[in-house]
Structure 1
Amino acid sequence: MLVDDALIDKLSRLSMLEFDAAEREEIKADLEKMIGFVDKLKELDTTGVEPLLHMAGEVNVLREDVPGGMLTQAEALQNAPLHNEAFFLVPKVIKKDEA
């Protein structure tokens, strides 16, 4: 994979970050090192090696689901920074298109 200015520009747009010239060169060098490392791993013979799905041998180790006490509505609301008598109050996050 070629790491060039076009790739850095695309990554900059996708990540919504701006880089100065020195940062761009540093990012380019880092990406080339990462891609080189992955290419080096492709040279390994993995015949007969099972894929690693989990870091530990145990899968889905869950605790027993034990029901506990419930909070009252007043207890649930007592530490909320904004609330009325019945609900949490949160900032509006959905904006309507004004077309």
Structure 2
Amino acid sequence: MVDHEEVRHVASLARVALDDDEVERFAAQFDDILAYFDTLDEVPEVEREEDLANVMRPDEVREGLSQEEALANAPESEAGFFKGPKVS
């Protein structure tokens, strides 16, 4: 079973505040998720050579947008750059 302290630790890393009921619920959900991974361990491995094919196309240099065209639909711009909200 996933420990409540582990749930609180993961929540703090994600900067999410959880009350005791949420910690209990998430611990149960984490247990369910980990049980699915245990089920995958039971799937037998298959010895088989795959025919690999390169599905990537070569890069092509093409004309891009001008700075004015790129900023035309931006809600805000400043000094030729996109301007977004401050992140704290």
TM-score (norm 1): 0.58
Q: For residues 47 and 74 of structure 1, what CA distance do their matches in structure 2 show?
A: 55
Return the structure number with greater strand share.
2
Larger relative contact order (CA 8 Å, sep ≥ 6): 2
Q: Distance in 1 between matches of 2:5 and 2:49?
A: 37
Q: Which has the larger radius of gyration?
A: 1
After TM superposition, the structure 1 = structure 2 runs for residues 1-99 of structure 1, keeping only pairs within 5 Å, are 2-48=1-47, 59-62=54-57, 65=60, 67-68=62-63, 70-71=65-66, 73-80=67-74, 81-84=76-79, 87-88=80-81, 90=83
Query: Structure 1 or 2: larger helix share?
Result: 2
Deviation string, structure 1 residues 3-51 (Cα, Å, up to 9, x no partner): 1111112111111101122211111111111111111221222142579
Identity within the alignment, %: 24
Unaligned runs of 5+ in 1: 52-56, 94-99
Alpha-carbon RMSD across the aligned residues, in angstroms, is 3.3
Normalising by structure 2, report the TM-score: 0.64
Q: Which runs of 5+ in 2 are unaligned?
A: none
On the 8 A contact 1:77/1:83 being kept in 2, the answer is no
